[in-house]
Chains A and B, each alone.
Chain A
């Protein structure tokens, strides 16, 4: 029994949907499948992308400031009559020698004062030869200030033996390099640079970066150790920067370059191919979601059109008993909205369930989940709202047709 506080349209809409039970179940199932696909794809793609980005950014800074590159400036002929003419036709590109960023402390302070910047860490990096008995390996040496650098690339998480702490005589090496040279914690390594500088360092820790090549090549030492080894007293070869919004790194890098005059590369630029793949994936995902949404809308619209034809006699009699066109319109809009709401609720639950199952089943090579399971309420609320909106829009044309039915014609059937 209905109550007077229940609006007429609600009561009749729900009864009509209940009366056409099978039809209602089919369209709700259709909407549910569509919404489940959208929820599943959205959450999985978000999880996958954030996982990929996390992996990329856990091994590099968001922005890297580098010293200006050496450029060749061709000599010009000084004769006033031949101004602009070059002295030689062939211009050889210059060697890029290791050099420091000018006034890097001032530049670092300037960047730190930017509100969008989180961490600035100086790095003195170069290459060296590591010797152990008759074995030698070419390595890259990164001189870091651990406190700042670990906030960008947290080596502490990647240490498999020893410690991540660095003093002047310490070095951190990768697992592959340790195996190649037959060394482990506490052993000493002799590093020699191309300029002839040498230094003997003690292995304080062994890390695993998850990449065989990186584990064979990368080493970390204290900043001042690298500076003296590489012949860069007081200098740094890069400033590593992290920012609050990783996706704004490009524009922040441009602002840094504009403000400091130092070349700044964002992780987006240095991983352009990765980013192209991510944006292509996002576009494909959006297109699929759009067409799934469109098919849901057409499904609801076609069912509502059929319902209007089926119920035309009832519409006529309702109009005869004083029900207004607006009430009839609301009655059918409501049915579209309710179908979409029920379908989207079921679809959200199905999507979440499939996501959880998929997340348990799909793993990376290292055994970690393929994607992070992030069931954000916002996704479900958005899916519900969009589905209801789609239902209302889809039901609009049939509802208007119902409202405009001539009661005489409708009653006659």
Chain B
């Protein structure tokens, strides 16, 4: 349905708790590619969406409906053509690239369908990478945080293996650990289980669910798996560039 409304799922603890701070707020967000040209294509049509701290939201919708574009905009990788977006209480529309990069680095973690680990580094080094780039952490803190995260995802035995030598499921778990390295308020997972076998997909989903529960990390989880979406706090249906209700 292209009416811009949200289809709510039954509350599972955190949904509907308005005392929780807002992590993401979109108001009338439009996104058009090739804007101002004859081949302008609008893919998001006035999205209004509020996501609060600790929510685990599934984002569903057919291919080409605008899920990834929505995620890229929320993740500050892309800018809306119009409308407003605030992330962690910061209005982002007028921020320059440097400010968006800083906000993204400190507040948002990404997990993609393909793990996108840097194969020249070990599993542990991949997890350390965001902290190294931020240049704000002493060596010990950086190392211990990364080691703890690698242990959390159950890969201590493989932490010194080059990323390219790990299995698909292991790589995705390293990608999750990396996304959480900066302790972000928001984790965006774009079909992280889409490329995994059922067992690995379940492990990855369970991991995300656990981090959501233990750390209160807000998670937007794009999936085509209805069973997994059912186990999320809330499902956001994106259809034809609108959030359907």
List chain A positions with a Cβ less than 8 A from chain B: 1-5, 7-8, 11-12, 15-16, 18-19, 313-314, 316-327, 407-408, 411
Residue of A nearest to B178 (CB): A321
Q: Which of B9-17, B18-26, B72-80 contacts A (4 or more CB under 8 A)?
A: B72-80
B179 surroundings in chain A (CB, below 8 A): 321
Whether A321 pairs with B129 at a CB distance below 8 angstroms is: yes
Q: Which of B83-91, B132-140, B193-201, B216-224 contacts A (4 or more CB under 8 A)?
A: B132-140
Whether A1 pairs with B137 at a CB distance below 8 angstroms is: no
Query: Which of these, A15, A317, A324, contacts B116 with CB under 8 Å?
Result: A317
Q: How far is the CB of A407 from chain B (nearest CB, A)?
A: 5
- Given the interface pairs A320-B104, A408-B77, the reply to whether A8 lies near B135 with Cβ below 8 Å is yes
B182 surroundings in chain A (CB, below 8 A): 321-322
Whether A323 pairs with B101 at a CB distance below 8 angstroms is: yes
Whether B133 pairs with A19 at a CB distance below 8 angstroms is: no
A3 surroundings in chain B (CB, below 8 A): 139
Is the C-beta of B97 less than 8 angstroms from some C-beta in chain A? yes
How long is the Cα–Cα vector from A411 to B117 in the complex, in angstroms? Answer: 11
8 nearest interchain CB pairs?
A322-B105, A4-B139, A19-B120, A15-B120, A317-B116, A321-B130, A323-B133, A320-B110
Whether A325 pairs with B101 at a CB distance below 8 angstroms is: yes
Q: How far is the CB of B212 from chain A (nearest CB, A)?
A: 20
Whether B77 pairs with A320 at a CB distance below 8 angstroms is: yes
Q: How far is the CB of A131 from chain B (nearest CB, A)?
A: 90
When each residue 118-143 of chain B gets 1 if its CB lies under 8 Å from chain A and 0 otherwise, what string results? Answer: 11110011001110111101110011
A15 surroundings in chain B (CB, below 8 A): 118, 120-121
Is the C-beta of B106 less than 8 angstroms from some C-beta in chain A? yes
- Given the interface pairs A19-B119, A314-B118, A408-B77, the reply to whether A8 lies near B132 with Cβ below 8 Å is yes
Is the C-beta of B112 less than 8 angstroms from some C-beta in chain A? yes
Is the C-beta of B98 less than 8 angstroms from some C-beta in chain A? yes
Residue of B nearest to A4 (CB): B139
Is the C-beta of B210 less than 8 angstroms from some C-beta in chain A? no
How long is the Cα–Cα vector from A95 to B195 in the complex, in angstroms? Answer: 105
B133 surroundings in chain A (CB, below 8 A): 8, 318, 321-323, 327
Q: How far is the CB of B188 from chain A (nearest CB, A)?
A: 9
Is the C-beta of B102 less than 8 angstroms from some C-beta in chain A? yes
How long is the Cα–Cα vector from A324 to B78 in the complex, in angstroms? Answer: 15
When each residue 182-211 of chain B gets 1 if its CB lies under 8 Å from chain A and 0 otherwise, what string results? Answer: 100000000000000000000000000000
How long is the Cα–Cα vector from A1 to B142 in the complex, in angstroms? Answer: 11
Query: Total interface residues on B, using CB and 8 Å?
Result: 36
Residue of A nearest to B104 (CB): A322
Whether B142 pairs with A4 at a CB distance below 8 angstroms is: yes
Whether B116 pairs with A411 at a CB distance below 8 angstroms is: yes
Whether B120 pairs with A16 at a CB distance below 8 angstroms is: yes
Please name 25 pairs of A and B residues whose Cβ atoms are closer than 8 Å in the assembled complex, sorted by A: A1-B124, A1-B125, A2-B125, A4-B137, A4-B139, A11-B132, A12-B120, A15-B118, A18-B120, A19-B119, A317-B116, A321-B104, A321-B130, A321-B133, A321-B179, A321-B182, A322-B102, A322-B130, A323-B101, A326-B98, A327-B133, A408-B72, A408-B77, A408-B78, A411-B116
Whether B75 pairs with A320 at a CB distance below 8 angstroms is: yes
B109 surroundings in chain A (CB, below 8 A): 321
A314 surroundings in chain B (CB, below 8 A): 116, 118
Residue of B nearest to A403 (CB): B97
Q: How far is the CB of A316 from chain B (nearest CB, A)?
A: 8
Query: Which of these, B101, B129, B142, contacts A324 with CB under 8 Å?
Result: B101
B163-185 residues at the A interface, CB under 8 angstroms = 178-179, 182
Most buried by A among B104, B105, B133: B133
How long is the Cα–Cα vector from A314 to B128 in the complex, in angstroms? Answer: 15
Q: How far is the CB of B99 from chain A (nearest CB, A)?
A: 10
B72 surroundings in chain A (CB, below 8 A): 408
Whether B132 pairs with A325 at a CB distance below 8 angstroms is: no
A8 surroundings in chain B (CB, below 8 A): 132-133, 135
Residue of B nearest to A317 (CB): B116
- Given the interface pairs A4-B138, A408-B78, the reply to whether A322 lies near B106 with Cβ below 8 Å is yes
Residue of A nearest to B102 (CB): A322
Q: How far is the CB of A9 from chain B (nearest CB, A)?
A: 9
A320 surroundings in chain B (CB, below 8 A): 75, 77, 104, 110
B128 surroundings in chain A (CB, below 8 A): 2
How long is the Cα–Cα vector from A8 to B129 in the complex, in angstroms? Answer: 8
